Amino acid sequence: SQTIHQWPATLVQPVGSPLSLECTVEGTSNPNLYWYRQAAGRGLQLLFYSVGIGQISSEVPQNLSASRPQDRQFILSSKKLLLSDSGFYLCAWSALDDNQPQHFGDGTRLSIL
């Protein structure tokens, strides 16, 4: 069966510090991968998605970036965090075929001080 791992579960970072969140998927090949942010009282906001190694689409202009160095690894990064980057970050995968459901990790709660 497929599993998705996301870490860390909780992170507290000072303003201006760098960020690296990692997500890996097991039990499937060539998945579509997604990064979302969920702010309190707001819906899930799609940040990035990837249909293959090195292929990244950005949905929202911001100081975050994403990379996919391996087929089942997806990384969310920032060079300098802003207060507004606080939130709940979720990684998800779906099968490469169109119209398939997305499956989520347990998220990272990021607090910027």
Partner 1 sequence: EDQVTQSPEALRLQEGESSSLNCSYTVSGLRGLFWYRQDPGKGPEFLFTLYSAGEEKEKERLKATLTKKESFLHITAPKPEDSATYLCAPLVDRKLIWGLGTSLTVNP
- Least gap, CB of 37 to partner 1 (angstroms): 11
- Cα separation, 25 vs 6, in Å, equals 9
Site string for partner 1, 56-95 (x = CB under 8 A): ----------------------------------x-x---
Nearer to partner 1, 2 or 17 (CB): 2
Number of residues binding to partner 1, judged by CB under 8 A? 19
Query: Which residue in the set 35, 72, 105, 112 belongs to the binding site for partner 1 (CB under 8 A)?
Result: 105
Of 1, 29, 41, 61, the one binding partner 1 by CB under 8 A: 41
Residue 64: CA atoms inside 13 Å, Cβ hemisphere, count? 26
Which of 13, 28, 44, 62 touches partner 1 by CB under 8 A?
44
Please provide the DSSP assignment of the chain as one string. --EEEEE-SEEEE-TT--EEEEEEEES-SS-EEEEEEE-TTS-EEEEEEEEETTEEEESS-SSEEEEEEETTEEEEEESS--GGG-EEEEEEEE-SSTTPPPEE---EEEEE-
31 makes contact with partner 1 (CB under 8 A):
no
Binding site residues, partner 1, CB under 8 A: 6, 41-44, 46, 49, 90, 92, 98-99, 101-107, 109
